[in-house]
Structure 1
Amino acid sequence: MRLLSFRSGDHESFGVVADGGVIDAGVHLPGRVGTLKAAIAGDRFGAVAELAAGAEHDYALDEIEFLPTIPDPGKIVCIGINYGNRNEEYRDGSAAPRYPSVFMRTPDSIVGHEQAIQRPPESEQLDYEGEVVLVIGKRGRRIAAESAWDHIAGLTLMNEGSVRDWLRHGKFNVTQGKNFSRSGSLGPWLVTADKFHAPDALHLTTRVNGELRQDDTTANLKFPFSYLIAYLSTFMTLNPGDLIATGTPAGAGARFDPPRYLRAGDIVEVNVPEIGTLRNRVEDELVDPGR
């Protein structure tokens, strides 16, 4: 199934994509489960599948505003330098990492599919990073790698937008450059875990204005999905609706000579065929000089 979070007017809900439209599961599902996160936590995917098989859609896809796949995640955990050739991009002679690089994002740093991501006035170095994202489906701590897939509700996509010069403000962290408001995106929807037969061999691409910039497969992850679930759950409890962005391939704008950062009007598309395409336009953030 493809499940999404959306807004129509003042109404926010989640739904299932069927026959080119959206069935409002938040309205039709017994018990009035209002959010995708709540449906995951309540183990309601079976009921949603029954709804999708028999109900007519309530909206066309072009009638809704896409929200981030999970608008209210408890955690957004991000993994850095996780593709096989990413470490070489840094050209600093350092050895490949023994453990994942881990940092966090805030929910208000991301927008949904087809929503504008914003380039802040404090920097001209907004960059793109296409990533596959794991959506946690079942609570767990110290999860064994061989049981990891049992804790995944499904996969979605992220443009893990990064403000490069602000990444270097701190000596030991990248928090500032990863959390500018509306600098990244998440979507277009969650594809449930049962639809993936080879989850560690997904073909991920990122295009800017139609030009291919990133092109790799999750078979080249240094720390694959199962390892990430096991490693992270060693020191934190993973809860339904938590997000794990699994890293970006080589080819970000900062690695060109000269760098090719995003500008207003650019269109960024992150694609995995089994999931879909996350598309966003870049705009300059408008700042009220009186505030």
Structure 2
Amino acid sequence: MNLVTFTADGTQHWGVSAAGGSAPTGVVALSRDFPQWKTLRNVIEAGAIDKVLAAAEGRAVSHAEGGFVLDPPLPDPEKIICVGVNFPDRNAEYKDGQAAPPNMSLFPRFARSFTGHDRPLIRPPESPQLDYEGEIAVVIGRGGRRIPEGEALSHIAALTLCNEGTIRDWVRHAKFNVTQGKNWDGSGAIGPWLVPYRDPSQIVDVALCTRVNGEIRQQDRTGRMLFPVARQIAYISTFTTLVPGDIIVTGTPTGAGARFDPPIWLRPGDVVEVEADGIGTLRNSVADE
């Protein structure tokens, strides 16, 4: 079972998926059973993932497929921090003759910039350059400051998937930052669920791919990251305190639409799927705002 946040009849709930596979076909609502925890972030803060999973054992589906829509699993994180240029081929894409830098590139995303599984990514009227970036995201379970790299993976609570949708021309509006190109409302997606983290094998060398309309565009393994997840947690926690529910979006492989000649931007009707072994598939269509 995996953890989900969903909306049914205008009310947001959290609970667990009721079926395996790449995405839920039914869910079991648990939020009314635990009123002390408003969202899954509160469950993570309380260290109660195992408690809520145990409470779901043997429970009947409360909402069948078609009776709910999935939201981002964590609707209220304190921080979403994204790692840029984290695969060797991505560094080579820049064609600047420079080796991989000694430290990672980072930028923030706001929760409002993400939607949930099976909901459309939104292309704004200001630009047609909506692009995809398939990534694995880690959710912090045990917070800390200056977390040693050797202990970093023990601070993970769960894993999920991210399509870190980007408005490419707005990334280049300024000299030193990409924030405005990365934070358009509803331009990206997180989901479909949170997979509880149990073992380093879930993140250390995992296959990741992105498909657009069934065509593989991105494909790599986390074992080839320039900055592995443990290093990300250690580095980020040096300058900011990580807290339960924080999300680190760990980096995308080469193959985004901007790298084609000419570029291939997402258009209404396209379907983007981000898939990772052991986590599932995040699927989104595209629509105009």
Q: TM-score range by the shorter chain?
A: over 0.9
Q: Deviations over 1:85-132 (max 9, x none)?
A: 111011122221110000001111110111111111111111000000
Alignment of 1:138-177 (within 5 A): 138-177=142-181
| Contact residue 27 and residue 33 of structure 1 kept, 8 A | no
* Aligned equivalents of 1:252, 1:245: Cα separation in 2: 16
1:242 aligns with 2:234: no
Alignment of 1:1-12 (within 5 A): 1-12=1-12
Q: Secondary structure at the match of 1:39?
A: helix
- Aligned partners of 1:33 and 1:25: how far apart in 2? 10
* TM superposition score normalised by structure 2: 0.95
The answer on 1:60 being equivalent to 2:59 is no
Correspondence for 2:232: 228
In the TM superposition, residue 198 of structure 1 has moved relative to its aligned partner by: 4.3
How far does residue 10 in structure 1 lie from its aligned partner after superposition?
2.3
Match of 2:78 in 1: 74
| Distance in 2 between residues matched to 1:86 and 1:122, nearest whole Å | 27
1:182 alignment partner in structure 2: 186
- Let me know the Cα RMSD of the aligned residues: 1.3
Distance in structure 2 (CA, Å) of the matches to 1:61 and 1:15: 14
Q: Distance in 1 between the 2:205 and 2:65 partners?
A: 29
Cα displacement (A) at 1:238? 0.5
Instruction: Please show how residues 111-126 of structure 1 align to structure 2 within 5 Å.
Output: 111-126=115-130
Query: How far did 1:46 drift?
Result: 2.1
- Structure 1 unaligned regions, length at least 5: 286-291
Q: Deviations over 1:52-93 (max 9, x none)?
A: 223222112432111011111100100000012111011122
Decide whether the 8 Å contact of 2:153 with 2:200 is kept in 1.
no
**1:289 aligned partner:** none
Secondary structure of 2:88's partner?
coil
CA contact (8 A) 2:81 2:248 kept: yes
8 Å Cα contact 1:82/1:100 also seen in 2: yes
Supply the AA of the counterpart residue of 2:33. Answer: H
Q: Does residue 1:43 correspond to 2:47, yes or no?
A: yes
Q: Is the 8 A contact 1:3 1:15 kept in 2?
A: yes
Maintained 8 Å contact 1:86/1:250: yes
Matched, 1:268 2:259: no
SS at match of 2:233: helix
* Structure 2 unaligned regions, length at least 5: 20-24
Q: Secondary structure at the match of 2:251?
A: coil
Does the CA-based 8 Å contact 2:74-2:245 persist in structure 1? yes
Aligned to 1:22: 27
Counterpart secondary structure, 1:85: helix
2:65 and 2:281 map into 1 onto residues whose CA distance is 14
SS at match of 2:78: coil
Question: 1: distance between equivalents of 2:176 and 2:44?
Answer: 35
Q: Which moved more, 1:111-120 or 1:46-55?
A: 46-55
- Does structure 1 retain, via aligned residues, the 8 Å contact 2:146–2:237? yes
CA contact (8 A) 2:271 2:284 kept: yes
The 1:219/1:284 distance shift into structure 2, 3 A limit, reads same
After superposition, give the CA deviation of every residue in 1:159-199 in whole Å (9 maximum; x if it has no partner). 00011111111100001100111110000001000166342
The 1-side partners of 2:272 and 2:5 are apart by: 20
What secondary structure sits across from 1:78 in the alignment? Answer: strand
* Alpha-carbon separation, structure 2, partners of 1:23 and 1:217: 32
| CA distance in structure 2 between the partners assigned to 1:57 and 1:141 by the alignment | 40
Matched-pair identity in %:
50
| Distance of 1:32 and 1:63 partners within structure 2 | 25
User: Counterpart of 2:66 in 1: which secondary structure?
Assistant: helix
One-letter amino acid of the counterpart of residue 29, structure 2: D
Task: Look up the SS of the partner of 2:283 in the other structure.
Answer: strand
SS of alignment partner, residue 194 of structure 1: coil
Most deviating of 16-25 and 146-155 = 16-25
Report SS of the residue matched to 2:52. helix
Contact kept, 8 Å, 2:88 with 2:100, in 1: the verdict is no
